[in-house]
Structure 1
Amino acid sequence: MHNAQCRYGWAAAVFKSFLHLFFGSLAGKLAGVLREVLLAGLFGTSGMVAALRAAQSATLVPVNFFTADTLSAGFLPLYARYRDSDGRRAGSLFWWTAGLLLVASVLTVTLLLAAAPYWIRALVPGFSASERALTVEFVRIMGLGVPFYIAGGLFSYLEMGHGVYTLASARATLQSAGLIVGTLVAYVMRVPSLLAWGFTVAYLVYSVWGFARIVRRGWVPLPSLLRSEDIRSVAGEFWHVVKPLMLIPVLLQGNTVAERAVASLLGVSTFAALDYAKFISDTGILLFAVPLGLAGLSAISKMSDEEARVSLERLLPPLLLASVPVSMALAVNCRWVIAIVYQRGHFDAESTHLTQLILWGYALGFWAQVASYVLMKSLSARLLNTAVFRIMAAGLVVNMVINFSFYRVVGPAVLGIGSCANGVVLFALSTRALGLTGTVLKRLAWLALGSLGYASIEMMPIAQGWLGMLVAAIWFMAWWGAFIAVVPTLRTDARFMIEKWSTAR
Structure 2
Amino acid sequence: MKPTLPAGGDETVRPRAVPAQPTAPAPPDPGRDTHGSSSTFLARAALLTAVLSAAGSLLGLVRDQTLAHLFGAGSETDAFLVAWTVPEVAATLLIEDGLAFMLVPAFSAAIALRGSRAAHGQDPVRALVAASLPRLTLAFLASGLALIAGAPQLVELLAPGLPDPQLAVDCTRLTATCMLTFGLTGYCSAALRAHSSYLAPAAIYVAYNTGIIATLLLLADRWGVRAAAAGVAVGGCLMVLVQAPVLRRRLTRAEPGTQVLQGASGDGGPAQKQSLNMMLISTVLLFALCRQSQVFIERFLASSLPSGAISHLNYAQKVAQLPMVLSLMLCTVTFPVVAKALARGDTERARDRVERDIALAACIVLSGAAVVFACAPQIIQLLFQRGAFTAEDTAATASIMRIYSLGLLGHCLVGALVRSYFSAGRPTWYPVVSMAFGMTLTAGVGTLTVGTWGVAGIAAANALGITFTAVLLLTAMDRRSVPVRLPKVLLELGKTLFAAVAATAAGLVCAARVGQPLGSLAVGCLAVATVFGLLLWALNVQAFVPAVRFATRKLRHVR
Q: 1:100, CA displacement in angstroms?
A: 6.4
Equivalent pair of 2:178/2:236 in contact (CA under 8 Å): yes
In the alignment, which residue of structure 2 is the partner of 1:155? 188
Q: 1:43, CA displacement in angstroms?
A: 0.9
Bigger CA drift: 248-257 or 337-346? 248-257
Could you tell me how far apart the structure 2 residues matched to 1:111 and 1:497 are? 55
Structure 1 397/255 Cα, relative in aligned 2: closer, same or farther at 3 Å? same
Q: Does 1:321 align with 2:363?
A: yes
Letter in 2 for 1:180: I
Letter in 1 for 2:206: T
In the alignment, which residue of structure 2 is the partner of 1:409? 452
Q: Residue by residue, what CA displacement relative to the aligned partner does 1:261-316 show, whole Å, maximum 9, x if unpaired?
A: 10111233101212111211233344442x44544455544442524333323333
Letter in 2 for 1:27: A
Q: State how 1:58-97 maps to structure 2 within 5 Å.
A: 58-61=86-89, 69-71=97-99, 73-76=101-104, 78=105, 82=109
Highest relative contact order (Cα 8 Å, sep 6+), 1 or 2? 1
Q: 1:116, CA displacement in angstroms?
A: 0.8
Bigger CA drift: 251-260 or 268-277? 251-260
Letter in 2 for 1:269: G
Letter in 1 for 2:179: V
Structure 1 74/374 Cα, relative in aligned 2: closer, same or farther at 3 Å? farther
Q: 1:16, CA displacement in angstroms?
A: 7.2
Q: 1:232, CA displacement in angstroms?
A: 5.2
Letter in 2 for 1:178: G
In the alignment, which residue of structure 1 is the partner of 2:159? 124
Q: Does 1:205 align with 2:273?
A: no
Q: Residue by residue, what CA displacement relative to the aligned partner does 1:313-334 show, whole Å, maximum 9, x if unpaired?
A: 3333222221111112212221
Equivalent pair of 2:370/2:500 in contact (CA under 8 Å): yes
Could you tell me how far apart the structure 2 residues matched to 1:44 and 1:426 are? 34
In the alignment, which residue of structure 2 is the partner of 1:356? 398
In the alignment, which residue of structure 2 is the partner of 1:23? 51
In the alignment, which residue of structure 2 is the partner of 1:6? none
Q: Residue by residue, what CA displacement relative to the aligned partner does 1:344-396 show, whole Å, maximum 9, x if unpaired?
A: 11111111122123211221222331342132133223234323212322222
Q: Does 1:242 align with 2:293?
A: no
Q: 1:174, CA displacement in angstroms?
A: 2.0
Q: Residue by residue, what CA displacement relative to the aligned partner does 1:228-247 show, whole Å, maximum 9, x if unpaired?
A: 86685255223232233464
Q: Does 1:380 align with 2:422?
A: yes
Could you tell me how far apart the structure 1 residues matched to 2:303 and 2:331 are? 32
Q: State how 1:381-460 maps to structure 2 within 5 Å.
A: 381-384=423-426, 385-432=428-475, 433=477, 434-436=482-484, 437-460=486-509
Structure 1 88/179 Cα, relative in aligned 2: closer, same or farther at 3 Å? farther
In the alignment, which residue of structure 1 is the partner of 2:213? 180
Q: Residue by residue, what CA displacement relative to the aligned partner does 1:419-465 show, whole Å, maximum 9, x if unpaired?
A: 22233233333334233334421211111221232223322232222
Cα RMSD between the aligned structures?
Answer: 3.7
Q: 1:133, CA displacement in angstroms?
A: 1.0
Equivalent pair of 2:52/2:203 in contact (CA under 8 Å): yes
Letter in 2 for 1:447: T
Question: In structure 1, the residue corresponding to 2:425 is in which secondary structure?
Answer: coil
Q: State how 1:211-290 maps to structure 2 within 5 Å.
A: 211-218=244-251, 233-234=272-273, 236-245=275-284, 247-248=286-287, 250-289=289-328
In the alignment, which residue of structure 1 is the partner of 2:545? 492
In the alignment, which residue of structure 2 is the partner of 1:347? 389
Q: Does 1:142 align with 2:175?
A: yes
Q: Residue by residue, what CA displacement relative to the aligned partner does 1:388-417 show, whole Å, maximum 9, x if unpaired?
A: 212322222222222122211221112322
Equivalent pair of 1:41/1:342 in contact (CA under 8 Å): yes
In the alignment, which residue of structure 2 is the partner of 1:463? 514
Equivalent pair of 1:318/1:497 in contact (CA under 8 Å): no
Q: Percent identity?
A: 18
Could you tell me how far apart the structure 2 residues matched to 1:393 and 1:335 are? 33
Question: In structure 2, the residue corresponding to 1:125 is in which secondary structure?
Answer: coil
In the alignment, which residue of structure 2 is the partner of 1:310? 352
Letter in 2 for 1:255: Q
Structure 1 311/501 Cα, relative in aligned 2: closer, same or farther at 3 Å? farther
Letter in 1 for 2:372: L
Question: In structure 2, the residue corresponding to 1:331 is in which secondary structure?
Answer: helix
Letter in 1 for 2:409: W
Letter in 1 for 2:161: G
Could you tell me how far apart the structure 1 residues matched to 2:138 and 2:535 are? 55
Q: 1:144, CA displacement in angstroms?
A: 2.0
Equivalent pair of 2:71/2:225 in contact (CA under 8 Å): no
Q: Does 1:366 align with 2:408?
A: yes
Could you tell me how far apart the structure 2 residues matched to 1:300 and 1:84 are? 26
Q: Residue by residue, what CA displacement relative to the aligned partner does 1:132-183 show, whole Å, maximum 9, x if unpaired?
A: 1111111112222321112212322344445554345323322221111122
Give 5+ residue unaligned stretches, structure 2: 1-37, 117-123
Could you tell me how far apart the structure 2 residues matched to 1:144 and 1:220 are? 32
Question: In structure 2, the residue corresponding to 1:313 is in which secondary structure?
Answer: helix
Q: 1:54, CA displacement in angstroms?
A: 0.9
In the alignment, which residue of structure 2 is the partner of 1:3? none
Bigger CA drift: 490-499 or 456-465? 490-499
Equivalent pair of 1:15/1:500 in contact (CA under 8 Å): no
Letter in 1 for 2:74: S
Could you tell me how far apart the structure 1 residues matched to 2:253 and 2:277 are? 18
Question: In structure 2, the residue corresponding to 1:204 is in which secondary structure?
Answer: helix
Q: 1:258, CA displacement in angstroms?
A: 1.9
Equivalent pair of 2:185/2:239 in contact (CA under 8 Å): yes
Question: In structure 2, the residue corresponding to 1:217 is in which secondary structure?
Answer: helix
Equivalent pair of 1:360/1:416 in contact (CA under 8 Å): no
Could you tell me how far apart the structure 1 residues matched to 2:40 and 2:529 are? 26
Structure 1 219/420 Cα, relative in aligned 2: closer, same or farther at 3 Å? farther
Equivalent pair of 2:77/2:308 in contact (CA under 8 Å): no
Equivalent pair of 1:59/1:143 in contact (CA under 8 Å): yes
Question: In structure 1, the residue corresponding to 2:150 is in which secondary structure?
Answer: helix
Structure 1 429/181 Cα, relative in aligned 2: closer, same or farther at 3 Å? same
Structure 1 247/85 Cα, relative in aligned 2: closer, same or farther at 3 Å? same
Structure 1 492/499 Cα, relative in aligned 2: closer, same or farther at 3 Å? same
Equivalent pair of 2:71/2:388 in contact (CA under 8 Å): yes
Letter in 1 for 2:145: T
Bigger CA drift: 58-67 or 449-458? 58-67
Q: Residue by residue, what CA displacement relative to the aligned partner does 1:451-501 show, whole Å, maximum 9, x if unpaired?
A: 232223322232222222222122122212322332333443433774999
Structure 1 409/250 Cα, relative in aligned 2: closer, same or farther at 3 Å? same
